[in-house]
Amino acid sequence: MAPSACAPEPQSQSNKDTGLPLISLAPLIDFDSASTASTAHALLHALEASGFLYLTDSPIPPSLLSRVFELSAKFFDRSYEEKRTLAWTTPKANRGYTSIGQEKASLHLSKAEVEQDRGGEGDDQKESFEIGRDDEEAYPNQWPEDDVEFKQVMTDFFDRCKQLHAIVMKGIALAMKLEPDFFADYVKQGDNTLRLLHYPAVSAQAFTSGRVRAGLHSDYGSITLLFQDSRGGLQVERPDGGFIDVTPIEGTIIMNAGDLLSRWSNGLIQSTRHRVVEPPLKLSSDGQPYPPRYSVAYFCNPDFDKTIEALPGTWDSQNGKKWEPIRSGDYLEQRLSTTY
Dist CA 31 CA 23 (whole Å): 15
Q: Which stretches of the chain drop beneath a pLDDT of 70?
A: 1-18, 108, 117-122, 204-211, 279-287
For residue 127, which of 214, 207, 204, 212 has the smallest C-alpha distance? 214
pTM for the whole structure: 0.91
Dist CA 93 CA 85 (whole Å): 16
Residue at 340: amino acid letter: Y
Residue at 147: amino acid letter: D
177 dihedral zone (left: phi>0; alpha: psi -120 to 50; beta):
left
Alpha helix (H) residue ranges in 77-144: 80-84, 111-121
**What is the structure's pLDDT at 217?**
87
Dist CA 304 CA 45 (whole Å): 27
**What is the structure's pLDDT at 16?**
58
Dist CA 19 CA 51 (whole Å): 12
Bridge partners (DSSP) listed for residue 130: 96, 195
- 3-class state of residue 279 by DSSP: coil
SS3 content of the chain, % helix, strand, coil (to 5): 30, 20, 50
**What is the structure's pLDDT at 285?**
55
Please say whether the beta carbons of 332 and 259 come within 8 A: no
**What is the structure's pLDDT at 8?**
39
Please say whether the beta carbons of 52 and 20 come within 8 A: yes
